[in-house]
Amino acid sequence: MHLDEWAILGFEFSCTLAETSEADYDAFFTSFAELVTNQHLYITLNDETETLEGFATSADRYGNATDENKAALEAFLNAQTIASDVKVGALVDAFYEL
C-alpha cells in the first residue's frame, strides 16, 4: 500500500554516548527534543544506555524525512561533546526497506 509515490521515507541514525553527569544527559536530550520538534520529525529510539540508535520519519501527515533533516540531525549529533561514532543512514522506505 505504501509503495512508490506513497512510500514514507525515513533514515536510521546512531551514536555512542559518553558516560557523563545527569545534567549533561538532560541538556543533551532537551536539545535533541528541540531539534526533533523543529525539524517536524518522529523518532523511535532503542532503550540502551551507551548507544543512541533510532529511526526518523516526518511528523507531517503523508510527509517524508528529507536530506535536510538528515543533515540537521547529523550536524547536531556531531556537535555534541557526549556523542561519538555518529552514523546517519540513507533515506529508505520506512515500511519495506528496514
Q: For residues 56 and 12, what is the distance between their CA atoms, to the nearest angstrom?
A: 6
* CATH number of domain containing 52: 3.30.70.100
Assigned domain for 98 exists: no
Assigned domain for 38 exists: yes
Single pTM value for the model: 0.89
Question: Is residue 15 packed enough to be buried (19+ CB in 10 Å), middle (13-18) or exposed (0-12)?
Answer: buried
> Tell me, what's the pLDDT at 98?
56
- Contact (Cβ atoms closer than 8 angstroms) between residue 74 and residue 35: no
Assigned domain for 55 exists: yes
> Tell me, what's the pLDDT at 96?
79
pLDDT string in tens for the chain (98-residue length): 455 666 889 999 999 999 999 999 999 999 999 999 999 999 999 877 688 999 999 999 889 999 999 999 999 999 999 999 999 999 999 887 65
Domain encompassing residue 76: 4-93
Number of domains in the chain: 1
